[in-house]
Every structure is written in structure tokens, then in C-alpha cells.
Structure 1
Amino acid sequence: MSRVVLVTGVSRHLACRLAGRLSADPAIDRIIGVDTVPPARADLDLLGRTEFVRADIRNPLISKVISGAEVDTVVHASVTATPHGAGGRTPMKELNVIGTMQLLAACQNSATVQRLVVKSSTAVYGTSPRDPAIFTEDMAAKALPRSGYAKDAIEVEGYLRGFTRRRPDVNVTLLRFANFVGPFIDTPLTRYFQLPVVPTVFGFDPRLQLLHETDGIEVLRLASTSDRPGTFNVAADGVLLLSQAIRRARRIAVPVPAPAVSFVGRTVRRSGIVDFSPEQMQFLNFGRVVSNDRLKEAFGYTPQYSTEAAFESFLTGRPVSPVVTETVLDAGEAVLARLLRTTPTRGRTSASVTSIDPSRRLRHG
């Protein structure tokens, strides 16, 4: 059992709630939350007895925090996918990659660290038309991501593999999370489905596999309080087609030709409404599905929410105000009914749909 747990990125949604869950565990002596900015005032009650330390993991001084508190479990949850939230793409890469390097160096030099949990992403598998139907943990990307969060996650995992070779005595758990949704979490994907007009890639309808925020927090908690070494895909059962998700959210889909996708993505990012990176736009082109068998069998956890249920929780928990309302649907049905009752025939209209006598149909063509 962990006695002293350090959680990075504690001012963010998942890490904050994880720290709160851990603080409720009487078997844990201390919870130390680290971040560059203090938690929001609204989140202070959620943290419980968590001790906040304002520190930058990009600075080697993080090793003093770990050694001074005799930390035995480190949960690295500060890897971020949103450049806007990190202050731009350059600070985001520094926080993700340089921050991870410094944190792993501190853990390597620590005599007390026994367990390390790292939050990664299924984005490491990339997205391409050559992808398999389902990725397992032992598969590699068919097309390596060349930029953005996905590339950062691949570099983070590379440094982590080096750490496991140098410190085989430390139990390391690598968690590759699918896209989060839920009633409270704010991500580029949840903002995407809140757009009144949702851009899609013309001719493509990708499969989406999601994860409810509650399941994600519980997996992090279990990994933080018990030895469950290994690499695990953390994703819900089932998938949703993008078109299904848009219809359920009652948004208006606007197919965009593939050559214009980059332009639309840049426009959306500049608007500040959705911080959608190029690799996330690529995700909306081809989608991604991973196997969660190892999570269920080796890790010992079955997600409580399916992809469909997680998305429904997101819609009902916000709530997402529909663009296509009941009034609009009723009006559309009325127009469709009138069209079906009035069938044009050589310039004239018939009050009802005329049935065709099968004996008069053409035999050929």
C-alpha cells in the first residue's frame, strides 16, 4: 500500500479528482499535489487533505520535493493534449517531454520511489487508413505521428522504457487512455460536440471509442494504490460512429472536403472555441479502436460505462443544448409528410402516392 503519493498536474480535472479520491483513503499517510499553478477555488474542497506544492516538473528541483517527502508512489498525470491550456505548443511540448524527463530523473535518483504510474494516450497508435480494426498494447502505429500531443506521448513512453531498464525494481504502470467524455471534464472532443455546426471529413464516418471520466479516475486510483505493472489500454466497450454521435447530440454536421480540412482546423483553433490539433482532426478522419482485454484480465478492471453510455452521460450531464430541437424535427417531419402525399407526375400533382401495377412493370431494365 502507498504511504506517500505525489500527483503531478493536480490543478487539472483528472489529477485533482484523483488526489481527492486518494485523500479519502486512510491507509495513505500523505498526498502531495504538484503543479505550476494553484488549483481553482472551486476545486479546493475536492482535494481533501492533499498538500499542494507549487513546483514545475521541468525544473530539477522536483527531485527535492520527492526526496524531502520520501515519496514512494509517483502518479504522472500532467501530460496534456491542449496547447491553449499550456500556453502554446512550445510550452506544451516542454511540459510533456522535458517535464517527464526531469520527473523520471528524479524518480531514478530516489531511494524511496517504489511505484510509478504514467498517464499516456491511445494517440500513440496514430491514425491512418492502414490501421487495424483493433489495436492491442503490443502493436505499433502504422503511421507515426509527426507532431502534436501524439508525438509527445510517443516520446514520453520512450523515456519511460529507458527508466524501466535503469530501475527494474520500480513497479511501472503505463495507462493509454482513450478520449475522455463525461458531465464535467472539458476536452477538445467535448467542445467539438458542443459546436452548433460540427465539421466532418466528407466521405468518412470514423469509429469513436470513448472513456467516461469516472472510469479513468478509478483506473488511476487502482494503479496508484496497488502493484499492477504493465501497459494497458484504458477504453470503454463498444464504439460510436461519428455520424451517430452527432445525431445524438442533435448537432448539424457539415462535411468538409479533405483538402480543406487543415484550413477548417486552423480556423476553429484560432477562434479559441475548440483547441483542435492536426492529429485530432486526423482522428476525426479515420478514428481509432483499441482492445481493453488486458485491462479487464491482467489489470482487473472493467469500465462501468460503455462508449455509448459515456457519451449519453456527457450529453445529459452538461447538458448540451440541441441545435436540432423537437420543434425543428416536428417541422421537418411535417414537410416530409406533405412531400410524400404530393407526388409530381408530368407537371401535375396527385393527392396520393400512385401504386404501380406489377404486371405493367418493364421486364428488363
Structure 2
Amino acid sequence: MGPNVVLVTGVSRFLGGHLAARLAANPAIGRVLGVDTAQPGRDLLRRMGRTEFVRADIRNPQIGKVIANAGVDTVVHAAVNTHPGPGGRAAVKEMNVIGTMQLLAACQQSPQVRKVVVRSTCAVYGSSSRDPAVFTEEMEPRDLPSSGYAKDAVEIEGYVRGFGRRRPDVDITTLRFSSLIGPRIDAMLTRYFALPVVPTVLGFDARLQLLHSEDALAVLERATLVERPGVFNVGGAGVLMLSQAIRRAGRIALPLPGPAVLPVTQFFRSARLVDFSSEQLRYLHFGRVLDTTRLREQFGFTPRWTTQQAFDDFVRGRGLRPVVDPETVLAAERGAGDLLVKLRGSATAPDVES
């Protein structure tokens, strides 16, 4: 049986708001409640249609009354923050961790709740030089995330597992998204690749697996509508090397030695251009790739966009113009290649006696 009354958290942001809009357009769902501390923008509110906006803070136990009074049977927790807002890192952690605790406590107390969908992240696997080629859902991180959003996500998933033990009658779906990208979403990577000069770590070329924001919405919608409990990696097919992505965006790479990376990223962070946390810096060192077999075979979902297609759609949609003319770059690369061939040829040519 499908959901009747759905509550979606974080509706003032892209994923929560647009998911509520999709669910509200489904006539099979009786009511859709959208919860957030701030009202969505005018355009997003219009898109949300018959969604009933409730200004509420999930860190407050009052969220339990909202769930009980409305007879909510399905909760979609999309309010997990990936980068600091006006309140800084402390406020984000409080919303992520304390907010999730209070929300799950409210779900536990309501006998009507029978499904919970949680937006999580592949950052729970961490990033290190000892990582496997791909992560499956059963794998543990080689280096447990110790700070930032990744640590929040590890704690959140721990609370979700605890909730599942206390309420085994509730179907719980945890979606571990790879890095989100797309023309309509504001995320760490969209800000990073919009920089005219992109800082990288000298000697490293991370493997990136990306998820288009529209695919993220589609998988959240499917998780809400069908019974697919479990933990699922979610990412587009294929990978891009960081250097390839920078070239495809027409940006200029700025390779920095390890000690110089932190001061430069702190500058970008203080200027509110890109929020570089410690786990994001490790991600730009080593990258991360997910095995999505379970997503396709058990969950029944295949992302529409591959990693490369998602990235190219972001570049087109944002109208990113090359900082340097691509033909100039290609000519320089061809010239450098020709020079290397000549040098290699001269180095191996036999000596001629006079």
C-alpha cells in the first residue's frame, strides 16, 4: 500500500522542496506536509502546489505533535545540510544530528508511521589512500570521518539503525548519494567548478562519481512510493578524473603542494565562495567510487545521467564559459606532445662517429 500522508523535511532547499512538489502532484497521495524553519522562496512555494507548509524546527520536540496530529505515515528526511549557512558549522551540526534525533524520536512515538526515508551520503565511507576501488554498502571506512558533514552523516546513520531496532515494523530506506551536481542545485562541487581557477592537490587526481540532482529527486520519490527498505548507494555510471572535469568545465587547474592547500581553501571559505571542510579536502585528494549494483537490481532504479553526462549538463546549464579558449589549450597540448616526441627521439638516437 502506498503512502497516504507524507512529511518532507527541508522543503526550503532544492531537494526537499522539489520532492514535495513531485509528491503533491501525485493524486494517489492524500496529503503532503513540508517542514522547515524558513519558508521556501516564492517560486519554489508555487511549484509545491498543494503541499501544506509547516514552519517547524525538527530540533524541537514539537515536531512530534505535527506528525501525530496530521496522521503522518511516511517521513522523508531530506533536511541534512551539506555545507554551513549563516549560523556556521555548529548550527549545521546541531540541525543535522540533534534534528535527526528529535525527528526519529517523534517517529518512534507515533504508531501511524510505517516508513522513513533518509537522505544520506557516500561521505560515510571517508576518503583515503587505502580505499578499495569501489565501495559496496557493507564496507566500513578505512579511516572513519572525524569532522564535518561526513561525521554528521555517520552519526545520523547510527541513530537511524537504532530507530530500526526499536521500531522493526517501520520500513527504513537509507540512500547514500554520491556527490550531487546539476544546473539547478547549489552544492560544494557546483561552487568548486564555477571558480575560474580551481585549486587541486599537487600529485593527486581524484576519481569522481557524480549524481545528477534530477536523479537524486527521482530516487527519493521512488523510495517514498514503493517498499524498498535497506541501504543503497546512489551514483551515476562511470567516473571522471578531477583533471578531466576541470578541462570539461573550461577552468584552469591550480596544483598546490600539500602545505599550501589549507591556506588557499581557507581563503575561499572566508570569502564564502566554496566551503572546504577537511573531509572535502580528502575527497579532492583521493575521490570515491560506489558500487550501485544493489540500487539497480534490488531497488529497481538506474540513474538517467552517467557521471560524465551529469557533469556536462551542469556545465551547459550554468553557462560556464571557458576561461581559456579550448583551441589554445589543445594547441599547447599538441605542441608539448610534439616536443616530448622530439626530445625522446634525440635521446635514443645512436651516436655517429666523425
Q: TM-score range by the shorter chain?
A: over 0.9
Matches within 5 A, 1:165-314: 165-314=165-314
| Distance of aligned partners of 1:178 and 1:86 in 2 relative to their CA distance in 1, 3 Å threshold | farther
Task: For residue 337 of structure 1, report the CA deviation from its aligned partner.
Answer: 6.5
Distance in 1 (alpha carbons) for counterparts of 2:350 and 2:301: 60
Does the alignment pair 1:362 with 2:319?
Answer: no
Distance in 2 (alpha carbons) for counterparts of 1:339 and 1:230: 50
Asked if the contact 1:127–1:282 (Cα under 8 Å) also holds between the matched residues in 2, the reply is yes
- Which residue in the other structure is 1:349 paired with? none
- Structure 1 counterpart of 2:181, one-letter code: V
Task: For residue 183 of structure 1, report the CA deviation from its aligned partner.
Answer: 1.3
Q: Which moved more, 1:307-316 or 1:258-267?
A: 258-267
Task: For residue 86 of structure 1, report the CA deviation from its aligned partner.
Answer: 5.6
Distance in 2 (alpha carbons) for counterparts of 1:9 and 1:360: 67
Distance in 2 (alpha carbons) for counterparts of 1:103 and 1:224: 17
Distance in 2 (alpha carbons) for counterparts of 1:108 and 1:209: 35
Normalized against structure 1, the TM-score is what?
A: 0.91
- Which residue in the other structure is 1:320 paired with? 320
| Distance of aligned partners of 1:331 and 1:212 in 2 relative to their CA distance in 1, 3 Å threshold | closer
- Which residue in the other structure is 1:346 paired with? none
- Which residue in the other structure is 2:41 paired with? 40
What SS does structure 2 have at the residue aligned with 1:75? strand
Task: For residue 321 of structure 1, report the CA deviation from its aligned partner.
Answer: 2.2
Task: For residue 334 of structure 1, report the CA deviation from its aligned partner.
Answer: 8.3
What SS does structure 2 have at the residue aligned with 1:133? coil
Is there any run of 5+ residues in structure 1 with no aligned partner, and where?
344-352
- Which residue in the other structure is 1:22 paired with? 23
Distance in 2 (alpha carbons) for counterparts of 1:58 and 1:315: 37
Distance in 2 (alpha carbons) for counterparts of 1:283 and 1:336: 31
- Structure 1 counterpart of 2:46, one-letter code: D
- Which residue in the other structure is 2:101 paired with? 101
| Distance of aligned partners of 1:339 and 1:215 in 2 relative to their CA distance in 1, 3 Å threshold | closer
Normalized against structure 2, the TM-score is what?
A: 0.94
Distance in 2 (alpha carbons) for counterparts of 1:338 and 1:90: 48
What SS does structure 1 have at the residue aligned with 2:164? helix
- Structure 1 counterpart of 2:115, one-letter code: R
- Which residue in the other structure is 1:60 paired with? 61
Q: How far does the alpha carbon of each residue in 1:188-215 deviate from its partner, in whole angstroms, 9 at most, with x for none? A: 1111000010000000001000000111
Matches within 5 A, 1:68-79: 68-79=69-80
Task: For residue 240 of structure 1, report the CA deviation from its aligned partner.
Answer: 0.1
| Distance of aligned partners of 1:203 and 1:32 in 2 relative to their CA distance in 1, 3 Å threshold | same
Q: How far does the alpha carbon of each residue in 1:34-66 deviate from its partner, in whole angstroms, 9 at most, with x for none? A: 000000112122111111000000000000000
Asked if the contact 1:262–1:278 (Cα under 8 Å) also holds between the matched residues in 2, the reply is no
- Which residue in the other structure is 1:128 paired with? 128
- Which residue in the other structure is 1:31 paired with? 32
Distance in 1 (alpha carbons) for counterparts of 2:28 and 2:64: 24
| Distance of aligned partners of 1:254 and 1:67 in 2 relative to their CA distance in 1, 3 Å threshold | same
Does the alignment pair 1:87 with 2:87?
Answer: yes
What SS does structure 2 have at the residue aligned with 1:44? helix
- Structure 1 counterpart of 2:255, one-letter code: P
Is there any run of 5+ residues in structure 2 with no aligned partner, and where?
none
Identity %: 58
Task: For residue 275 of structure 1, report the CA deviation from its aligned partner.
Answer: 1.6
Does the alignment pair 1:333 with 2:340?
Answer: no
Distance in 2 (alpha carbons) for counterparts of 1:195 and 1:105: 41
- Structure 1 counterpart of 2:10, one-letter code: G
- Structure 1 counterpart of 2:251, one-letter code: R
Task: For residue 277 of structure 1, report the CA deviation from its aligned partner.
Answer: 1.4
Task: For residue 14 of structure 1, report the CA deviation from its aligned partner.
Answer: 0.7
What SS does structure 2 have at the residue aligned with 1:112? coil
- Which residue in the other structure is 2:112 paired with? 112
Distance in 1 (alpha carbons) for counterparts of 2:271 and 2:87: 15
**RMSD of the TM alignment (CA)?**
2.2
Q: Which moved more, 1:253-262 or 1:204-213?
A: 253-262
Distance in 1 (alpha carbons) for counterparts of 2:337 and 2:260: 35
| Distance of aligned partners of 1:86 and 1:3 in 2 relative to their CA distance in 1, 3 Å threshold | farther
Distance in 2 (alpha carbons) for counterparts of 1:60 and 1:260: 45
What SS does structure 1 have at the residue aligned with 2:194? coil
What SS does structure 1 have at the residue aligned with 2:116? strand
| Distance of aligned partners of 1:21 and 1:362 in 2 relative to their CA distance in 1, 3 Å threshold | same
- Structure 1 counterpart of 2:52, one-letter code: E
Distance in 2 (alpha carbons) for counterparts of 1:89 and 1:152: 11
Matches within 5 A, 1:141-180: 141-180=141-180
Distance in 1 (alpha carbons) for counterparts of 2:117 and 2:193: 30
Distance in 2 (alpha carbons) for counterparts of 1:338 and 1:278: 35
Distance in 1 (alpha carbons) for counterparts of 2:229 and 2:337: 62
Distance in 1 (alpha carbons) for counterparts of 2:337 and 2:156: 58
Matched residues, number: 347
Q: How far does the alpha carbon of each residue in 1:216-249 deviate from its partner, in whole angstroms, 9 at most, with x for none? A: 1000000111111000001111000000000001
Task: For residue 361 of structure 1, report the CA deviation from its aligned partner.
Answer: 2.3
